[in-house]
Amino acid sequence: MKLRIDGGRLLDLTDGSLTPASVLVDAVRGVVVAIGTDLPEADLVISLRGEVLLPGFIDVHVHLRDPGFEAKETLATGTRAAAAGGYTQVACMPNTKPPLDTPERVRDVQLRAQGLAARVHPVACITQGQAGEALTDFEALRAAGAIALSDDGRGVQHSGLMREALARAARAGLPVAIHAEDEALSGGGALDPAAARRLGVSASAPEAETAMIARDLVLAEATGAHLHVCHVSTATAVSLIRWAKARGIRVTAEVTPHHLLLDEGVIDRPDAVFKVNPPLRTAQDREACLAGFLDGTLDLVATDHAPHTAEEKARGLSEAPFGMVGLETAFPLLYTHLVETGRMRLEQLVRRMSTDPARHFGLGGGVLRPGGRADITAVDLEHTRRVDPATFHSKGRNTPFAGWPLRGWPVLTICEGRVTHTAAYEMTQGEARR
Ligand code: DOR
């Protein structure tokens, strides 16, 4: 079974040039057979209209909520949301119920995710039950398929335990993805201090994040572990990571679209749609995150896709859970606000959303080339559409970007040769028309 995609333009990730090209895919083996013009006949042809062909995006930080919180999201709905956002691979965080802290639970997610709309890589817990007291069995979790370790949603509070975790992770060859939050400093507060004062709720101080990042960078140096810093949000954190990289510490870092594009100044009402952890910080922090992203201090875009039910988010700023959905809007947001505004080049953004996550986490994909995996995303750079949460495939509608006019919407996603998302395309044997 062969699939041919005609009418697209191929982005060269080294120089940013766009070349009209077709792509021939072996849908059974899930590989790209050829890229070029005058390709052979295929069983199915999809005709694009000048959309840009990219390697499928990879998000190393999503919450699929399954098992245990299926009212928020399931493996099926979360991977459909991923595909709609142009993603072909996602790493799911282990703060499920039960948490992913045993090899059996890691394998269960992998098995149930097979054949869904994106490849799912489980991240396993650092500590049993994410309780911060006893380490999990890293070797066994790795053998079961975990690609990283994290207690995401909580930081590991005990420094001695964290040092032991990093030493063992280095031996097991697994990155440790940290949710940096010293709870003695954050106090579980809802918003960054200025916004918290304005809206009369408890504050989460930025030093709660930066102090733990500083600690863990020092511990990564002492142990040789690969430290991955999740959702960086402060200017000080960016400086610390820049310092650590210059020193040769093995650290990678991610930034979310919301921390790049929003700051606490947007919070003009007591609406929990703005409540996320770490919080939206100051304009100066946002600019520093952007500068860090542009100069490569922050390596990757990750969404921290965190779906919650409407009822949960209606509980008000103090009581509602932290989190925003992100999978279905990440690329259009960053394309429109960073590439179209001239702050970053398209190929640079695509590398940060595809090639680099694949490389840093040892995943396949991340490049579009003959012989490579058929993980492909076609994006429409011409048409503007507003973010409409009612159309999301995710169960979560909790986005602060509703109504934003954006370009760069994914129109076609192919994961290992399977069509996982089409927007307004009608496919027929041998032909497809919009
Ligand atoms: O906003 C957040 N939501 N931050 C986290 O660290 C956890 C996540 C969740 O699980 O809802």
Backbone CA torsion sign across 26, 32, 34, 35: positive
| Ligand 1 close to Cβ of residue 77 (< 6 A) | no
Ligand 1, atom 1: closest residue by C-alpha: 323
User: For residues 215 and 157, what is the distance between their CA atoms, to the nearest angstrom?
Assistant: 11
pLDDT band of residue 427 (cuts 50, 70, 90) is very low
Instruction: Specify which residues 413 forms β-bridges with.
Output: 377, 421
Nearest to 13 by CA among 302, 377, 345, 314: 345
Phi, psi of 149, deg, nearest 5:
-120, 140
Nearest to 201 by CA among 282, 258, 265, 269: 269
* pLDDT for res 5: 98
* pLDDT for res 188: 87
User: For residues 95 and 369, what is the distance between their CA atoms, to the nearest angstrom?
Assistant: 36
CA–chain centroid gap for 26, Å, is 27
| Ligand 1 close to Cβ of residue 278 (< 6 A) | no
| Ligand 1 close to Cβ of residue 153 (< 6 A) | yes
User: For residues 417 and 434, what is the distance between their CA atoms, to the nearest angstrom?
Assistant: 20
Number of CB atoms found within 10 A of residue 337's CB: 18
* pLDDT for res 430: 39
The average pLDDT across 132-143 equals: 98
- Tally of helices (H runs) and strands (E runs) in the chain: 14, 20
How many Å is the Cα radius of gyration of the chain? 21
pLDDT band of residue 424 (cuts 50, 70, 90) is low
The average pLDDT across 373-402 equals: 98
Ligand 1, atom 5: closest residue by C-alpha: 153
Count Cα neighbours of 10 within 13 Å in the Cβ-side half-sphere.
18
* pLDDT for res 428: 40
* 304 tagged catalytic: yes
The overall average pLDDT reported for the chain is: 96
pLDDT band of residue 37 (cuts 50, 70, 90) is very high
| Ligand 1 close to Cβ of residue 179 (< 6 A) | yes
159 contacts 167 by C-beta, under 8 angstroms: no
The average pLDDT across 283-310 equals: 98
- Residue 324 Cα, ligand 1 centroid: separation in angstroms? 8
Number of CB atoms found within 10 A of residue 222's CB: 12
| Ligand 1 close to Cβ of residue 264 (< 6 A) | no
- pLDDT (tens digit, 9 = 90+) per residue, 319-357? 999 999 999 999 999 999 999 999 999 999 999 999 999
Q: Which CATH class is domain 2-53+372-429?
A: mainly beta
* pLDDT for res 1: 95
CATH number of 56-360: 3.20.20.140
128 contacts 154 by C-beta, under 8 angstroms: no
Two structure tokens written together for 337 = 């606000």
The average pLDDT across 124-140 equals: 98
* pLDDT for res 413: 98
Ligand 1, atom 7: closest residue by C-alpha: 153
Q: What DSSP character marks residue 345?
A: -
- Residue 302 Cα, ligand 1 centroid: separation in angstroms? 13
Nearest atom in ligand 1 to the alpha carbon of residue 181 is 6
Two structure tokens written together for 415 = 């994961």
Nearest to 169 by CA among 122, 124, 230: 124
The average pLDDT across 116-133 equals: 98
CA–chain centroid gap for 206, Å, is 22
**Residue 301: helix, strand or coil by DSSP?**
strand
Q: In the chain, where are the structural domains located?
A: 2-53+372-429, 56-360
22 contacts 388 by C-beta, under 8 angstroms: no
User: For residues 425 and 5, what is the distance between their CA atoms, to the nearest angstrom?
Assistant: 12
374 contacts 26 by C-beta, under 8 angstroms: yes
| Ligand 1 close to Cβ of residue 280 (< 6 A) | no
Strands 409-415 and 418-422: antiparallel
Q: How many residues does the chain have?
A: 434
Nearest to 245 by CA among 220, 215, 281: 220
- pLDDT (tens digit, 9 = 90+) per residue, 241-269? 999 999 999 999 999 999 999 999 999 99
User: For residues 228 and 251, what is the distance between their CA atoms, to the nearest angstrom?
Assistant: 6
Backbone CA torsion sign across 67, 169, 138, 171: positive
Ligand 1, atom 3: closest residue by C-alpha: 323
Contacts of 379 (CB under 8 A, 6+ apart): 51, 52, 54, 86, 331, 335, 408, 409, 410, 411
